[in-house]
Structure 1
Amino acid sequence: MSKTESLTRVTLAYLLAFGTATAWLVWGPDTDRLWLDALIADVLATVVVFGASRWHHNSSFYDAYWSVLPPYLAVYWVVASSAAGDDVRTLLVLGVVFLWAVRLTANWVITFPGLHHEDWRYPMLRERAGRLELPVDFFAIHLIPTFQVFLGVLPIYAAVARPGRDVGWLDGVALVIGVGAVTLELVADGQMRRFIRDRSPGEAMDRGLWGWSRHPNYFGEISFWFALGLFGIAAAPGDWWWLMAGTVAMTAMFLGASIPMMEARSLERRPSYQDVIDRVPMLLPRPPRRRAAP
Structure 2
Amino acid sequence: MSTGRDRAVGFAVVTAAYLAAGLVAWAVVAVARGPHPLLLTFYADLAATVVVFAASMLVGNASLYDPYWSVAPAVIVTAWVWWQTGGEITAMTGRQTAVLLLVLAWSIRLTANWALSWRGLDHEDWRYVRLRERRPRGVPWWLVNLTGIQLMPTLVVFAGLLAVWPAVTVTGRSWGLLDVVAVAVTAAAVLLEATADRQLQRFTQDPANRGGIIDRGLWRYSRHPNYLGEILFWWGMWLFALAAAPNWWWTVAGPVTMVLLFTFVSIPMMDERSLARRPAYAEHMRRVPALLPRPARHR
Report the TM-score range of the alignment, normalised by the length of the smaller protein: over 0.9
| Residue 54 of structure 1: aligned partner | 57
Letter in 1 for 2:236: A
* Matches of 2:231 and 2:173, distance apart in 1: 25
Q: Does 1:3 align with 2:7?
A: yes
| Residue 258 of structure 1: aligned partner | 266
Letter in 2 for 1:24: V
The Cα offsets for residues 258-287 of structure 1, whole Å up to 9 and x where unpaired, read as 001100100100112122112212111122
Check conservation: 1:17, 1:49, Cα contact below 8 A.
yes
Deviation at 1:121, TM superposition (A): 1.4
The Cα offsets for residues 157-185 of structure 1, whole Å up to 9 and x where unpaired, read as 11112344222111110100000000011
Letter in 2 for 1:131: G
Match of 1:172 among 158, 180, 183: 180
| Residue 272 of structure 1: aligned partner | 280
Deviation at 1:124, TM superposition (A): 2.0
* Matches of 2:52 and 2:98, distance apart in 1: 30
| Residue 87 of structure 1: aligned partner | 93
Letter in 2 for 1:274: A
If the length of structure 1 is used for normalisation, what is the TM-score?
Answer: 0.94
* Matches of 1:255 and 1:120, distance apart in 2: 19
* Matches of 2:179 and 2:269, distance apart in 1: 35
Uncovered stretches (5+) of structure 2, i.e. residues with no partner: none
Deviation at 1:86, TM superposition (A): 6.8
| Residue 114 of structure 2: aligned partner | 108
Query: Identity across aligned pairs (percent)?
Result: 46
Deviation at 1:22, TM superposition (A): 1.5
- Number of matched pairs: 289
Match of 1:221 among 224, 230, 254: 230
* Matches of 1:218 and 1:163, distance apart in 2: 31
Letter in 2 for 1:218: Y
Match of 1:68 among 71, 79, 87: 71
If the length of structure 2 is used for normalisation, what is the TM-score?
Answer: 0.93
Match of 1:14 among 6, 11, 18: 18
* Matches of 1:48 and 1:129, distance apart in 2: 25
Check conservation: 1:86, 1:166, Cα contact below 8 A.
no
Q: Does 1:248 align with 2:252?
A: no
Deviation at 1:215, TM superposition (A): 0.3
* RMSD between superposed Cα atoms in Å: 1.6
Structure 1 residues 236 and 86: alpha-carbon distance in aligned structure 2, compared to 1, 3 A threshold: farther
The Cα offsets for residues 99-134 of structure 1, whole Å up to 9 and x where unpaired, read as 100110010011111111111111222331332222
Structure 1 residues 83 and 174: alpha-carbon distance in aligned structure 2, compared to 1, 3 A threshold: farther
* Matches of 1:89 and 1:201, distance apart in 2: 45
| Residue 232 of structure 1: aligned partner | 241
